[in-house]
Structure 1
Amino acid sequence: PILVNANMFNRAVIFSSNIRPPQPRHKCENKKGCPIDHFAFRIISGAANVVGPSICFEDTILMSTVKSNIGRGLNIALVNGKNGQLLKVASFDMYSGDVTQLETFLQEIKDGTIILAATYDDAATKMNKKVRALFSALGSRHVNELGFRDNWVFLGAKGLKGKSPFEEHIKNDQKTNKYDGWPELLEMEGCAPRKQD
């Protein structure tokens, strides 16, 4: 006869019942998947002036510290709204840079282009009314409130009717700041609709 230790058997059953099937992995490490006619995205602002922002689109990191293509100020990726192909990435120093470069960049965006933007350190010092109006036309609701060292993440599009649902803004406020002189970082994920003909 084979003797079975009942305690060992019970422990094995309890242990095996705690094993869960692996969770499905979604594009850009998002919590939820996206419908077929949508693009997955995740935008993370910078943290103070230490950790740079990150922009992911359809499971591809477009901008990050590791890619060495981010900078202080505004970090922007442009994507084709129909096929999701990366068109251009750029960063604009909004503290001591030339704001006319950003004006030109925004004016040259073609209809149907998706714009993804993330702040790092300070994005408002050099931001003028013209730049704010250009971002408003791309669907921003909060760009006119953007102040010194605020954090802001935004996804909009050229030709968008109305305002984008994909935008977050947090004020630089000494009473609520997470870091000395800066608010906490912002992280936004979602599913952007593909441009239809």
Structure 2
Amino acid sequence: MRVSGLIRLLALVFALVATWLFLRSYMNLSKKTIRLPRWLGLAPKKTEVEKTKCGLSKPCPANFFAFKISSGAANVVGPTLCFENEMIMSPVKNNVGRGLNIALVNGSTGHLLRKDSFDMYSGDVKLLVKFLVEIPEGMLVLVASYDDPGTKMNDEIRKLFTNLGSSYATQLGFRDSWVFLGAKDIKSKSPFEQFLKNNPDTNKYEGWPELLEMEGCVPQKVF
């Protein structure tokens, strides 16, 4: 066999082997999912969602306290009071009650002082008056209604809440929804308050308005 013929034969064999290796490699790749970042030698970036205190829609600035207050839903689901990522009162903690649920928090340190619920239907009027009168200086007052907050609320209680910065305490009545954050001896009306009147024409639930949810950032020693 001539040398030129041998070279052509070897070239043909090489071409066939190269084609077979290419097809084999292609078939193996076609059975796998190629992820572009890994193929390029780059690690995929992880999208981290920033966690906020009390699940707020955005974090609070420095020297501000985060809070979220939800009223009860009809007489079925109780209210929640969260402050600086601490769930102070909630149905899960089993420490809420029909009427008004109130927590006192130190406006400088953010520490919880006291929490309690007052049944305004059966008549915890005297207990609530005593509670409100004895609120120490510098306290933030978080309030959430549940079922019926206003049936037996008297003028004295309404005035005490008004002195804490409420704009709606004088209107609060049977089965109204109310959430509020005020303070002892506030010099103006609180910007943190929501109120919804019990109205058969607009109620979301049969006999009750819809629940209210309020979140925000309150500065330390703001009042």
Relative to the length of structure 2, the TM-score reads 0.80
Question: C-alpha displacement at 1:167, in angstroms?
Answer: 0.3
Partners of 2:198 and 2:46 lie apart in 1 by: 42
Matched residue, 1:78: 104
CA deviations on 1:126-161 (whole Å, 9 max, x unpaired) are 111110110011010111111110000000011221
SS class of match (1:144): coil
Which residue is 1:115 aligned to?
A: 141
| 1:45-66 CA-partner distances (Å, limit 9, x unpaired) | 0000000000000000000112
Q: Which runs of 5+ in 1 are unaligned?
A: 14-18
- 1:190 alignment partner, one of 178, 202, 216: 216
Do residues 88 (structure 1) and 114 (structure 2) align?
yes
Q: Which has a greater percent of helix?
A: 2
CA distance in 2: counterparts of 1:92 and 1:130, whole angstroms? 15
1:43 aligns with 2:43: no
Distance 1:71 1:196, change over 3 A: closer
Q: Percent of aligned positions with the same letter in both sequences?
A: 57
For the aligned residues, what is the CA RMSD? 2.2
Note if 1:28 corresponds to 2:54: yes
- List per-residue Cα deviations over 1:88-133 (Å, max 9, x = no partner): 0010000012301101100000111000000000000111111011
SS at match of 2:170: helix
Alignment partner, residue 150 of structure 1: 176
TM-score (norm 1): 0.91
User: How many residues get paired?
Assistant: 192
Cα deviation, residue 196, structure 1: 6.5
Q: Which residue does the alignment assign to 1:16?
A: none
Shift of 1:36: 1.4
Which structure 1 residue ranges, 4+ long, deviate > 3 Å from structure 2?
none
148, 160, 179: which one pairs with 1:134?
Answer: 160
Name the residue aligned to 1:175.
201
Q: Matched residues in 2 for 1:138 and 1:149: separation?
A: 22
1:160 pairs, out of 186, 191, 197, with 186
Structure 2: gaps of 5 or more residues: 1-21, 37-44
Moved more, 20-29 or 44-53: 20-29
CA distance 1:162–1:196, change in 2 (3 Å): closer
| Structure with max Cα Rg | 2
CA distance in 2, matches of 1:46, 1:20: 38
Give the Å deviation of 1:20. Answer: 7.2
What CA distance in whole angstroms lies between the structure 2 residues aligned with 1:22 and 1:124? Answer: 44
> Which residue pairs with 2:93 in the alignment?
67
